[in-house]
Amino acid sequence: MKSKNTHAEKNNKKSTSRRNFLKKGLLAGAGTVLGAGVVGSFDAFAEGGDSIKVLGPDGKILTVDKSHLKEIGARTEAQMQTEGRTGIPGRRWIKVIDLGKCRNARMCVAACQHAHQLKPEQYHVNVLRMDREGETAPFFMPKPCQHCDDPPCTKVCPVDATFKRQDGLVLIDNERCIGCRFCIAACPYSARIFNWTEPRDAEKYKDVEYDVELNVPQKKGTVSKCLFSADLLREEKMPYCVTACPNGVYWFGDENENAVTNGTTKETVNFKKLLKDNAAYVLLPELGTKPRVYYLPEKNRLFPYKYNGSTELKKEHNS
């Protein structure tokens, strides 16, 4: 543990280009010709005897020759740690969720669980059935981590395992987390989950190098949470949930650019205007957490509320 981190500190920015080529060339699995130092294509790696597994696109595991990867591989994980903690300079990621569009298709949930090696009952993003008091109509509410600007979870972490980055993301380092679960207790949005047992397909991911921006491989006995798909953002792609949505619920973008793009229609709009025109709000503002996720109220709905054949919301309080 310790050696990895000190290693990470030594290998800071100077190998950025190296990492990029590795990511594009290897992790993306494109089989392209790699840069200087390593000659040959993807196939050439696979011919070797000793092989190592790397994470490909869509969570597929690719096998690559170890002798070629060893040195660079170690750097990559170290680098993922440093870069993962620093964040992407100049960005302030923001998400807008249009409740009028959600019909509980749960494609976001599926895409997220697939990418982050989660079990079916583990949610980085969960779609909740909500209503307000009195005679108000029920609606579906996707609930990711709110990536608060005053995060109550990172406040309480004893070991700096969960942290906030300059681009607004709240991440967790599964290589450092001691599993005290104080952050779970502190989060008012119940956005955090814990690996109570071995994670899904632990055997398959055993040799995959840990990426702090993806929380993969998941580690038993540590906390995991929504990361706004920090690994994709680094490649200038929108998060898994955002692009998986078939109903145009999610808008994602950079607050500094004052623009958000819809994951379904790819339409880009003025962020502040979108909030203003639709009377956007944040969840539990009274708690002072300053969320980075905005909600557009559930009006002008394209799909009527219906869950398990009922158009009413059944109260599920467990008092």
Residues of this chain, 184-223, that bind other proteins according to CB under 8 A: 184-186, 188-190, 192-198, 219-223
On whether the CB atoms of residues 170 and 148 are closer than 8 A, the answer is yes
**Site size with other proteins, rule: CB under 8 A:** 89
Give whichever of 62 and 230 is closer to other proteins, judged by the CB atom: 230
Q: If binding is defined by CB under 8 A, does position 70 make contact with other proteins?
A: no
- Sheet containing 93-98, strands listed edge to edge, beginning at the edge strand earlier in sequence: 268-270, 259-262, 250-254, 93-98, 293-296
CA 3 to each of CA 104, 113, 159, 175: distance values in angstroms, whole numbers, following the listed order: 45, 31, 16, 12
Contact status, residue 174 vs residue 215, Cβ threshold 8 Å: yes
**Angstrom distance (rounded) from CA 171 to CA 165:** 8
The residue from 267, 277, 281, 312 that contacts other proteins (CB under 8 A) is: 267
Segment 94 to 153, residues that bind other proteins, using CB under 8 A: 121-123, 126-130, 133, 143, 149-152
Q: Is 44 in the site for other proteins (CB under 8 A)?
A: no
Q: Which of 31, 35, 100, 179 binds other proteins (CB under 8 A)?
A: 179
Among 96, 238, 244, 296, binds other proteins (CB under 8 A): 238
Residue closer to other proteins by CB (options 188, 297) is: 188
d(CA 68, CA 39): 10
Tell me if 234 contacts other proteins by CB under 8 A.
no
Closest CB 45 distance from other proteins, rounded Å? 32
Q: Which is nearer to other proteins, 198 or 277 (CB)?
A: 198
Closest distance of CB 293 from other proteins, Å: 13
Q: Which is nearer to other proteins, 52 or 216 (CB)?
A: 216
Among 246, 279, 285, 310, binds other proteins (CB under 8 A): 246
CB 109 within 8 A of CB 249: no
| Cα 180–chain centre separation | 22
User: Smallest Cα–Cα separation from 55: which of 215, 233, 172, 176?
Assistant: 215
Q: How far is CA 140 from the centre of its chain?
A: 21
Could you say whether residue 48 binds other proteins (CB under 8 A)? no
Q: Which residues pair with 294 in a beta bridge?
A: 96
Q: Confirm or reject binding of residue 33 to other proteins (CB under 8 A).
A: no
Q: How far apart are CA 150 and CA 72, in angstroms?
A: 36
Residue 9 is a binding residue for other proteins (CB under 8 A)? no
- Choice from 43, 236, 308, 309 touching other proteins (CB under 8 A): 236
Shortest spacing between CB 9 and other proteins, in angstroms: 12
| 42 belongs to the binding site for other proteins (CB under 8 A) | no
Tell me how far apart the terminal alpha carbons of the chain are, to the nearest angstrom.
43
Among 10, 204, 206, 266, binds other proteins (CB under 8 A): 266
Q: Residue 26 or 261: which CB sits closer to other proteins?
A: 261
Taking the C-alpha atoms of residue 202 and residue 124, their distance in angstroms, rounded to an integer, is: 18
